[in-house]
Amino acid sequence: MGERLLRVHAFIDESKRGEYALCAVTVATGDLAALRKQMNALRPPGHSRIHMTGVGKKLAPKIVAEVARLEATSRIYVMSSRKVNERQARDVTLAAAVRDLAQMPVTNLVIESCDQDHEDNRIIRDELGAGAPFRYTHDRPSNPLLWLPDVHAWAWGRGGSMRAKIAHRITVVRV
């Protein structure tokens, strides 16, 4: 009997805290609706999204602990930003991420939109060619599933107890 191939979606966001970190979270396609609902439920009252730098010290541990329970794993691609400028660090980490994602059963990649979308698309095309094995788009930070890489990267970068809460969900790749 053949094993059914698990399809996943990937969501990418960046973090800058001493080192440049690009976080690619993967989730099973069948879990998307439930995860979207769970992330919305964690959104602080009065906030339009979860952005860890703005949630405050009281809510941050609760959000990290809850996200650590969700079926979402990540690879954080880290590069010293002292070696290169931020755009170069993004290019190198994004290239590494899409090469890895191309080896996984990823069907859809969503990158948090910023003023670098065109350059991101060029990096993906340069790495994967015209026939990328997954669809890739940019979306606004209001997408609840883009909050997952924000939480993962923030907790990892914060270190200490925050990192410990979510470490079982994260693989770090130094590039």
CATH for 12-174 is 3.30.420.10
Residues 94, 119: Cα–Cα separation, whole Å: 11
The H or E element spanning position 128 is helix 117-128
> Which positions of the chain have pLDDT values less than 50?
1-3
Q: What is the pLDDT of residues 146-156, one digit of tens each?
A: 999 999 999 99
What was the pLDDT predicted at 3?
A: 43
Rounded Cα gap, residues 23 and 78, in angstroms: 9
Domain extent listing, the chain: 12-174
The predicted-structure confidence for 2-32, as pLDDT tens digits, reads as follows: 345 689 999 999 998 878 999 999 999 999 9
Q: Are 55 and 63 spatial neighbours (Cβ–Cβ below 8 Å)?
A: yes
Instruction: Tell me which H or E stretch contains 26.
Output: strand 19-28
Tell me, what amino acid is at 78? Answer: V
